[in-house]
Structure 1
Amino acid sequence: MDNMLTLMRALADPTRLRIAILIRQLELSVGELVQILGQSQPRVSRHIRILDEAGLAERRKEGSWVFLRPGPQLLAEHISALFTATTQDDARIIESDLKKLELVRAGRAQMAASYFEHHAGEWDSLRSLHVAESEVEAAMQQYLTISPLGRVLDIGTGTGRMIELFAKEAEHFTAIDNSAEMLRLARAKLAAVPAESRDAGKIDIMLGDFNALPLNDSSFDTILFHQVLHYAQAPERVIAEAARVLAPSGRMMIVDFAPHDREELRSVHAHARLGFSNDLILRAFANGGMHLAHHATLDGGELTVKIWLGQKFGQKKLDGSQPDNPDMENANRSGTQLKPDPQMRPKNRPEIRIVK
């Protein structure tokens, strides 16, 4: 009862109710809330603090920005009950807020469009070197939809394309990047996600480093590296860190280039690695307690795109027997460089090879 009274008191203020309704729709920065509410930043920050203390909102720092998202206590029924109790004047104010929220969405989308227009030459020159992204994405979807996605982590989300592709099917989707600018671009992609997913707090966008993920062990069922691993100075360590947060029997998909000699990708696009061999990825999977479940090679330009899907071994059996693949376990201990093994692929799931 005391907890409910605390929640109701926190939401009794009209401005705090407006904030709660807004962040149920979209994670917003403090500056964006100031813009929508038409109030001073100190006043808005005071309301945010009260909502935060009541568990109705959570503050998240991202570089020099602070974003607000729904807290664990901000349940839909609280909002619905209070919204129905508002006066006609209050309802008009909330309707106006929601219209301003759409302007914020549009502003984010415009920012993303301007960024890509500015960098269009760089992106186009890179895309022209490999098979169309639509074919890469189709192959990713074919592999990942074999079983439920569960809790998804997109490492190095960049512009947030994976949010568009997979958030709807995920139980929960977390997108992480070390660039605050890229995360603002990714946030613009949320407009393409069904409203019920955004409203349920199903998507988290957060700042973080793939070398030291700010996430709990075994907390994700599906992990994605889409054209990001080539930025890693120590890719095997990055894969090991991702394996730490992957749950037993979880899947890790890596989409990147096969080894190549396009040195300008290092000098112009800041790639730390010029592609990856099967041996390196298999060794990294083994060291992370995974085996290769699927593998695809997509030819269609000067650069070959590879897809590796690893699956983590389940927990040790209660009777103390060995995991499902003792050969991989032995290779993990000995450091043996593993070759792709066709028998590791499920029946009727041959390697996909797309040649243009």
Structure 2
Amino acid sequence: MADPVAPKSQPPLGKKRAIQRCPNCDIRCDVSLFVEGSLARCGHCGVRFEVHREGSVPPARQQTPAKPPRAAVAPEPPLPRLEGFIVLERIGQGGMGEVFRCSRDSDGLLVAVKILTPQMAAVPDYVRRFGREAAAMAQLDHPGIVRLLGRGKAGQHVYIAMELIDGESLRTWAHRNRPTARQLAMLLAQVAHALTYAHARAVVHRDLKPDNVLVTKDLRTKVLDFGLAGLHAEGAQCLTQSNVAMGTANYMAPEQRKDAKRADHKADIYSFGVMTYELLTGELPVGKFPPPSKVVNGLDPRWDALIERCLESNPAGRPHSALELAHTLEALAGLAKAMQLAPRTRKNTRKSGVWSWLGLTTAIAVVLGVAGLKVSQDHKSPRPSLARALAKKPGPRFR
């Protein structure tokens, strides 16, 4: 049975009117017909409230302010019209433009289209930077990198079309799934292989972080948002605009913060280390931070060495390439054997030139020897599939 409604007027005949304000809309309601402690319903907003006669409103109620009116929600701007595509919905917004899910007219393929904002499209420098993003992506054809499908200008819109990924960010995936150390190592190894491919083509990401890595339903990673990538071989001065650092500050290498032109592949390795530490511990490596094995019980100490090397302030002290990271992570995942990355101190960082060449020579010899052995053994010991590897659950879980 519905609660009786407290009228806003008309007192009972011959009696003094008892008034109580609605705790929701603050309208004066006549509660003369209600007994103490009963429930009345506001005739204006419909909210139920307890009746208190003769001003005996509990202190808690007296202190509860009336709910402010809901702020009007601004309607979303209409979807743009784009020649060659049917724009279906807005799915994101980046630093340079909005991203839409679209159907390509020619074949009905669902794609992600990034359109430069009209304000930025009117600035020649931004348009050149947007084109440089497309040029960088056009060089990259790797399963671990979001593919560029086309670019162009339709009317006032400057756009690039990319493959549409059915997945979620690595940050969201890790938070939702609480991965083991082994699972995380396997996913990060994929990211390292994608970086290796890009770096070999002189493309530096410059803004690597968990939000710029997607994880698909079949547990494959896709690096995206090369909006801050630069063709290092062409020089970064035009891209960085008066040497302003580009990237998300917490993930940027020291040399990138000081001078964006100095950000080469070693800056991506530094960002990779920050990302790895954060995914392991849930915290950013800011100031004086503990090694991850001191935060996560039972964590393999090789993670400490990997992150310590990646986060060297001197780029020369970091791993030589993202491929080193991939091999180390595959070893941590139990899928391969690799040389352990030893912690590097400031003292031996200064001598890194000689030892780097010696280490590189040794590494080449070992790799060549292992490669020859592997050819004869591949048919006997097939590499475990990613899905099977990630399905196993050994190792510590993260908070």
TM-score category (smaller protein): under 0.3
Provide TM-score, normalisation by structure 2.
0.23
Q: Normalized per residue, which structure has more helix?
A: 1
Which of structures 1 and 2 has the bigger CA Rg? 2
